[in-house]
A and B are shown apart, each in its own frame.
Chain A
Amino acid sequence: MNIGVTLARRLGLFAVSLVGATLVIFLIVQTLPGDVAQATLGLNATPEAVAALREKYGLDRPAVVRYLAWMAGLVHGDLGVSYISGQSVFSQIRPCLAVTTWLVVLSMPLALLCSIPIGLVAALWRRRWQGAIASGLSQTGMAVPVFFTGIVLVVLFAVESHVLPANGYVPLTGSRGDAGRWFSHLLLPVATLVIAQSSLLARYVRSGFIDVLTEDYLRTARAAGWTKWGALIRHGTRNAAVSVVTVVGLQIGAMLVGAIIVEQVFQLPGLGSLLLRSVGARDLPVVQGITVLLVLAVLLLSLLVDAAYLLIDPRLRRGQS
């Protein structure tokens, strides 16, 4: 099988998954009890007023009609209009997507950078005290809940010392944009994510290198005159990278929506917060829009991860299954 066929098969699977996902999302979202009309009008609303609002939003139409209308919009790249704000779903998602994207883009490379030395130390000296410390650090980082790390950082750097803002967000660009304040507001959330993510990744780096260390080719390379480090970097890194790349891909997907805890602790108006708010207000077009985008992102990531395998491992390029 050559690369072309592999990619074509992946793309086909991609399309089928996406359509399947829209159906599942729609069905799940529709089964949420309660609706936006009641949530908007509150405790003093008359049943007539609620019914009128339901009609205005088209909630009185059959589910099939609503699904097809939504799909027709999606095909044209139109995610629909928010019940609550009356604005297009995309215009509502865009600023939140920016916040979450910054979190991921800033924290993932840093987490990777931090995890490699920690994982390497933990692998190479795994029976010595250096390795024990490195393993202990990553274990601790994984065991401590993200919200707790966040709160500790807030107490240290904002409440006690007033060095950084406790929470909130300032956009990088736009009318309220301010690069310095944007940076200072993202510093603690990014640090929180880096601690959690690098701890996790360090585990995979460690086990990746431990596997590599016992391989014959490494012994052969040493016999051929490579130094221990030279052999490890020249021959070990690529092999250890495969499992790490898989985890990075999964983690980026998880972070897009999973950053919600960090968004809550630091009150960042990101994608997870918007999703939570929209579910609470039963603003279904926004809920559907966000979940479709997330599915799309996860599917794209898995495509990218597959492509990365091909780059890393020449054996896969030659078509060995």
Chain B
Amino acid sequence: MTPGLPPRPLRRPLRLAALLVTAALAGLTACTGTAATDPTDNSSASGQADTSLAVGATLEPSTLDFTASSEAAIGQVLLYNVYETLLRIDQQGELQPLLATGYTLSDDRLTYTFTLDPKATFASGTKVDADAVIKSIERLKPAVNTNVSAPLALVAATEAVDATTVAVTLTHPSNSWLYDMASTAGIVVDPATTDLAQRPAGSGPYQFSTWTRGDQITLTKNQSYWGTPAGFDEVTFRYFSDPNAMNSAELSGGIDIISDLTSPSSLSAFADTSQYQVIDGTTTGEVVLGFNHTKPALQDRRVRQAINYAIDRQSLLDTVWGGKGLLIGSMVAPTDPYYEDLSQTYPYDPEKAKALLAEAGQENLTLALRVPVVPYATSAAQVIASMLGQVGVTVEVSELDFGTWYTQVFTDGDFDMTIVNHVETRDIVQFANPGYYWHYDNADFQALIAQADEAAPDEYVPLMKQAAQLLADDAAADWLWSFPSLTVARADLTGIPQNSTTTSFDLTQIRSKA
């Protein structure tokens, strides 16, 4: 059987490989040869660039009901694109008007009065008025997702002052409440929708269209959007379990944007700036080397500090994440208002680490480092094991799939150290919860966090800075790096979000120049 493959223009270095493959295909090409020369359609996105956009993403949500699950993948698609909030968080981490044009805070700091934009309507055509906002708050209160129900539990009373004015009274003053309400907890749901899992409906510039499980979610333009119209008639989020496949899709024109590149080593493939742009920003994720504070050795602050001194975080970051990301030094994301660079609290100093371990009587320390099987954790674990080995700490690394990790580490507390990227916004407060899986129990820190939340707004930031500093001084964990947001996009696209300050992949500003 002789293959009759028509000549195809290929670059020279590829010819040999192509010939080899062609030879291996011997019989096959005879059967499918005609199809192989068909000009096919991978232009689903690029051919109609002005009307549709394909976005590649890593994690597919398991449900679209944000009240039932805390997955960031839900907000990635729906927040700000399909659903809107009273206020939103911008790329710099600042609050900006969205459904509300502004708000006032009462003198007792208990009552927030929001003025709604009179133009605001849901995609269904219904007005976003005071009643709709109150109905939404009441509806979301019993949410299973604690990221939604916890902030709403602070709401003592709501009142529709008039059609475009809502007053919300809290049980006690809270500075973080307003911020939470600018994200998932503050979503205003269209009262007409009955099933948030099947028919998510809000007031955003895009509407939910279809979801093919295991493959993609499609949004369509909200034709009657009350604000600046959306840039595309259709946006598809395509899910890739394999980062190489996502890169190939971008390189072959199958998708227009890689929303969350998880293989920094592959960035060189997108070096051609006439075709691609690489956007390097921050996220709210902190990659934490967490300690189990119930273990006697780790209850000793000197041991925790020794570990911090023994790990060269810059070379760790260079090795495992291509140097992308920021060294932080505490549980604060770079876009948080109380962010300070604390990365030099424990500069790399193995001698000091050895001295501290000797002082603590822990020269023969063995620690179990149990990490979930995710790229950043497994590769960081190996480097950390070797760095701690240099100062005489034996590290036993084990890799667990996320389900097993939840049981063994998160629930049963069977670990000494673990590595997880904590993506929740303003999650420094988890260190004030002694029941959380680190079991960090520090009364001073708990008091400081409570005080900051209830303080006057202008005292909030200084108090939170103190809290972050306290955590760093106490070496409550080793904050390895702030997770970067790496986005690759076609060169002609504008308005791609740089920083991920919420779970949203904000499509609202994206336009095509072509």
Contacts and interface: CB of A to CB of B under 8 A. Distances in A.
Contact of A187 (B32, B44, B239, B254): B32
B248 A152 contact: no
A65 interface: no
Contacts of B41: 165, 180-181, 184
B439 to A, nearest CB: 13
Contacts of A156: 10, 14, 17-18, 21
Interface residues of A, number: 76
Contacts of A117: 1, 27
B358 interface: no
Interface stretch (A9-17, A42-50, A214-222, A249-257): A42-50
Interface stretch (B101-109, B113-121, B142-150, B225-233): B142-150
A58 interface: no
A280 B253 CA distance: 30
Contacts of B430: 44
Interface string A251-273: 00000000000001111010001
A275 to B, nearest CB: 11
Contacts of A225: none
A159 to B, nearest CB: 5
A40 B69 contact: yes
Given A44-B430, A158-B248, A194-B28, A183 B35 contact: yes
B40 A44 contact: no
B407 A281 contact: no
B35 A281 contact: no
Interface in A15-66: 32-35, 38-47, 49, 52-53
A123 interface: no
B403 A35 contact: yes
Contact of B23 (A47, A137, A274): A137
B238 interface: yes
Contacts of B17: 152, 156
A187 B42 CA distance: 13
A127 interface: no
A288 interface: no
B127 interface: no
Contacts of B239: 267
Contacts, number: 207
B252 A162 contact: yes
B68 A40 contact: yes
Given A38-B411, A184-B38, A44 B242 contact: no
A108 interface: no
A165 B147 contact: no
B31 A110 contact: yes
A281 B62 contact: yes
Interface string B230-264: 00000000111110110011011110000000000
Contact of A166 (B27, B28, B248): B248
A141 B21 CA distance: 10
A184 B38 CA distance: 9
Interface in A128-180: 137, 140-141, 151-169, 175-176, 180
Interface stretch (A84-92, A230-238, A289-297, A301-309): A84-92
Contact of B245 (A137, A163, A167): A167
A265 B36 CA distance: 19
Contact of B241 (A152, A166, A190, A264): A264
Given A43-B422, A156-B21, A162 B253 contact: yes
A103 interface: no
B214 A41 contact: no
A213 interface: no
B144 A159 contact: no
A39 B402 contact: yes
B214 A96 contact: yes
Nearest to A191: B28
Contact of B24 (A140, A269, A280, A282): A140
B197 interface: yes
Contacts of B435: 47
A202 B327 CA distance: 56
B245 A159 contact: no
A164 B42 contact: yes
B92 interface: no
B26 interface: yes
Contact of B427 (A41, A44, A92): A44
A315 interface: no
B214 A273 contact: yes
Contacts of A49: 144, 146
A47 B42 CA distance: 47
Contact of A267 (B24, B197, B245, B427): B245
B63 A165 contact: no
A182 to B, nearest CB: 11
A72 interface: no
A194 to B, nearest CB: 5
B176 interface: no
A307 B242 CA distance: 40
B382 interface: no
Given A49-B144, A187-B35, A194-B28, A84 B21 contact: no
B403 A280 contact: yes
A128 to B, nearest CB: 18
B36 A163 contact: yes
Contact of A84 (B11, B24, B62, B215): B62
A137 B430 CA distance: 59
B403 A46 contact: no
B364 interface: no
B435 to A, nearest CB: 8
A113 interface: yes
28 contacts: A34-B405, A34-B406, A39-B403, A40-B71, A43-B420, A45-B146, A46-B146, A110-B27, A110-B28, A114-B28, A118-B26, A137-B26, A151-B244, A156-B18, A162-B252, A163-B36, A164-B42, A165-B40, A165-B252, A166-B254, A167-B248, A167-B249, A175-B210, A191-B25, A269-B212, A269-B213, A269-B215, A273-B241
Given A156-B21, A276-B241, 18 more contacts: A35-B407, A38-B410, A39-B402, A39-B403, A43-B70, A43-B420, A44-B424, A85-B63, A118-B27, A156-B14, A158-B251, A167-B248, A168-B238, A168-B254, A180-B38, A191-B28, A267-B239, A279-B403
User: Closest 5 CB pairs between A and B?
Assistant: A34-B403, A114-B27, A269-B214, A184-B40, A42-B70
Interface of B: 1, 8, 10-11, 14, 17-18, 21, 23-28, 31-32, 35-42, 44, 60, 62-63, 68-71, 144-147, 197, 210, 212-215, 238-242, 244-245, 248-249, 251-254, 401-408, 410-411, 420, 422, 424, 427, 430, 435
